Amino acid sequence: MKGIRFAALGLTLIGTLAINSCIKKSFDNPPDLSSFDPHLPVNLKIRDLVSPLWGTNGSYRVLGDSTIYGIVIADDHSGNFYKQIIIQDSTAGINVSVANTYLYNDYPIGRKVYIKLKGLYITSYKGNPELAYAVTAGGNTATGIPPTLQDSFIVKASYPNTVIPRECRLTDLSFPGPYLNMLLKLDNMQFDTVSMNTVYALPSSAATSTSRTLVECNSGSGTASSIVLYNSSYATFFNAITPSGYGTITGVLTVYGSTNQFQIRDTTDVQFTEPRCH
């Protein structure tokens, strides 16, 4: 009888070990959710949300029970964007202000997200459309979504997704509204003589940001127009050297007051590999 009991005990232990090993294996290999999409019902396009604010400064309103979706086209990984992600759908883009850092861990470039708008504000902060959690009277300051409420407003979906930048000329941006917070690609661009062969931004001990000037080559023999390139002094590439050649630059168009600004995600967005045009 003892032999039978020991045999039964041995089988029980073997079965327990087998179950435990299976359980351990499931924890070591979590399911791949990168293609998961909750398919929330979307009833508003970003263009319809932001177009009433184009050309305004300080306008704002509280939002109702609507949902938008977009693909993240800029995150805070390099530090050139801070406490914000920029998303766009097929119609337009918008800045989403979040009172948190390291957002790229949850919302990297290429992540699809849904934004539940009820309780948020849309504001034209310094002329740039932005989603915020709170806005002061006059729309002069905006507070980002608190970290504890991120998941209530921002719902993660599939990753990665590709957004092809829209090719533009600077003349297309004379009325920036439709292009604000969109991923754009500018061709035949170069830094002006003051902004080339220098650091993208001064160190944070000297400034919070530095503006450099981009000019557009005009048939290789001059410049037709220019735009400000905004660079944060806290960006990881702040002390990288601006190239002297010309080529294409990809980035996000924003506006500050009445000044159009172009903002890169990192220096790989700058492809000035051709000899300088004069």
Both 58 and 122 in a single domain?
yes
pLDDT score at 29:
55
Both 191 and 270 in a single domain?
yes
Choosing from 136, 156, 176, the residue where a domain stops is 156
124-138: pLDDT as tens digits: 999 999 999 999 877
Choosing from 98, 125, 156, the residue where a domain stops is 156
Q: What is the CATH number of the domain that holds 195?
A: 2.40.50.140
Both 100 and 196 in a single domain?
no
Q: What is the mean pLDDT of residues 49-73?
A: 96
Amino acid at position 167, single letter:
E
Whether 52 is in a domain gets the answer yes
pLDDT score at 31:
58
pLDDT score at 278:
74
Whether 12 is in a domain gets the answer no
Whether 54 is in a domain gets the answer yes
Q: Is 276 exposed, middle or buried (0-12, 13-18, 19+ CB in 10 A)?
A: middle
Choosing from 102, 121, 156, the residue where a domain stops is 156
15-28: pLDDT as tens digits: 444 444 444 444 45
- Domain span at 74: 46-156
Both 95 and 184 in a single domain?
no
- Band (pLDDT 50/70/90 cuts) for residue 14 is very low
Both 270 and 171 in a single domain?
yes
Q: pTM for the whole thing?
A: 0.87
Both 51 and 99 in a single domain?
yes
Q: What is the CATH number of the domain that holds 104?
A: 2.40.50
Whether 23 is in a domain gets the answer no
pLDDT score at 164:
98
pLDDT score at 141:
86
For the ranges 70-74, 105-109, 218-222, which has the lowest average pLDDT? 218-222
Whether 39 is in a domain gets the answer no
Query: How many structural domains is the chain composed of?
Result: 2
Both 264 and 221 in a single domain?
yes
81-97: pLDDT as tens digits: 999 999 999 999 999 99
Whether 124 is in a domain gets the answer yes
Both 73 and 125 in a single domain?
yes
Whether 187 is in a domain gets the answer yes
Both 174 and 261 in a single domain?
yes
Both 262 and 204 in a single domain?
yes
